[in-house]
């Protein structure tokens, strides 16, 4: 059996550094030593098989216990691909977000805004054989945090994706077009490359939206790809 194929190196500037001074919580939590780069073994090449049988999907976050959540209903859809451009089928996508008033359904969130009892803010979907996913939700509201003076997070939705290889694991946030808070947000702006950062903003898509029912937004995910060329520094 031949050795596992390596992953493509991270494109320069395309990921936020662990030490991102504008985001205060990174100060004491980022490792100061560089990680040790290893050649992938089976451990890094394979990944847990997240099956819908074991992790049931729930794709409509706009309804909780049969009741409609408040706010602007949205449909978000797109594809999950790898850097080689191949679709990632049967990929588990976890989703969580604040309600339309900017409040998380969570005891840690003490923001003084009315919590929507009909919005729990958790979703889970799987991509189909072509890497497509879609879910229904409510457009999340902005909310304050204590990072700097009068700091507010832009509207965003959190995602957690499991790919087909351990190194494809991705946790990220999706933002909305035209949000004036984006320019002020240290989390969004931590990614040095402007194009990479802007790819975290979804696009309005009238084909995804449903007439007289919901606006649609497109958002594609790209997971790390494989490098066909041999490792430069095999161990």
Partner 1 sequence: MSKPSDDRSAAGRGELNRPAQLVATAAQTIGPYWALIEHPEWADLLRADGPNAGYAGGERITLTGQLTDGDGATCPDAVVELWQADPNGEYEAGFHGYGRSRCDAEGRFHFTTVKPGAVKGRGNATQAPHVTLSIFARGLMNHVSTRLYFSGEALNETDPVLAQVPEARRGTLIARPAGSGVWNLDIRLQGEGETVFLEV
User: Between residue 204 and residue 223, which ones bind partner 1 under the rule CB under 8 A?
Assistant: 221-223
Is 26 a residue that touches partner 1 (CB under 8 A)?
A: yes
Binding-residue pattern over the window 5 to 24 for partner 1, x denoting contact by CB under 8 A: -xxxxxxxxxxxxx-x--xx
| CB nearer partner 1, residue 6 or residue 216 | 6
Provide the minimum distance between the beta carbon of 210 and partner 1 in the complex, in angstroms, as a whole number. Answer: 25
Residue 124: which residues within 8 A CB-CB, separation 6 or more? 55, 56, 57, 58, 59, 92, 93, 94, 95
Indicate which single residue of 64, 74, 76, 96 sits in contact with partner 1 (rule: CB under 8 A).
Answer: 96
User: Is 88:163 a contact under the CB 8 Å cutoff?
Assistant: yes
Provide the minimum distance between the beta carbon of 94 and partner 1 in the complex, in angstroms, as a whole number. Answer: 5
DSSP 9: P
- Applying CB under 8 A, the site for partner 1 has a residue count of 94
| CB nearer partner 1, residue 44 or residue 212 | 44
User: Is 142:154 a contact under the CB 8 Å cutoff?
Assistant: yes
| CB nearer partner 1, residue 212 or residue 232 | 232
Please give the angle made by the CA atoms of 113, 116 and 117, to the nearest 5 degrees.
130
Indicate which single residue of 170, 181, 204, 215 sits in contact with partner 1 (rule: CB under 8 A).
Answer: 170
DSSP string, 63-98: EETTEEPSS-EEEEEEEEEETTS-B-TT-EEEEE--
Indicate which single residue of 76, 88, 138, 167 sits in contact with partner 1 (rule: CB under 8 A).
Answer: 167
| H-helix or E-strand spanning residue 21 | none
Residues designated as active site? 104, 143, 153, 156, 158
Site for partner 1 in 127-146 (CB under 8 A): none
């Amino acid at each position: 059996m031949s050795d596992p194929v390596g992953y493509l190196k991270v494109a320069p500037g395309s990921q936020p550094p662990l030490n991102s001074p504008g985001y205060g919580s990174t100060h004491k939590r980022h490792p100061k030593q560089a990680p040790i780069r290893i050649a992938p073994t089976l451990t890094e090449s394979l990944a847990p098989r997240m099956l819908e049988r074991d992790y049931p999907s729930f794709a409509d976050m706009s309804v909780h216990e049969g009741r409609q959540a408040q706010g602007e209903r949205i449909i978000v859809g797109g594809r999950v691909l790898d850097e080689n451009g191949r679709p990632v089928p049967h990929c588990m996508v976890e989703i969580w977000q604040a309600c339309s008033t900017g409040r998380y359904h969570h005891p840690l969130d003490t923001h003084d805004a009315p919590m929507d009892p009909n919005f729990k803010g958790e979703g889970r979907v799987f991509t189909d054989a072509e890497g497509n996913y879609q879910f229904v939700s409510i457009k999340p509201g902005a909310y304050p945090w204590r990072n700097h003076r009068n700091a507010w997070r832009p509207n965003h939705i959190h995602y957690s994706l499991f790919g087909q290889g351990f190194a494809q694991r991705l946790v990220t946030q999706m933002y909305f077009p035209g949000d004036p808070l984006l320019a002020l947000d240290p989390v969004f702006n931590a990614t040095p490359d402007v194009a990479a950062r802007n790819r975290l903003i979804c696009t309005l898509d009238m084909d995804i939206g449903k007439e007289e029912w919901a606006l649609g937004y497109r958002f594609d995910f790209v997971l790390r790809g494989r490098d066909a060329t041999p490792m430069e520094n095999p161990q």
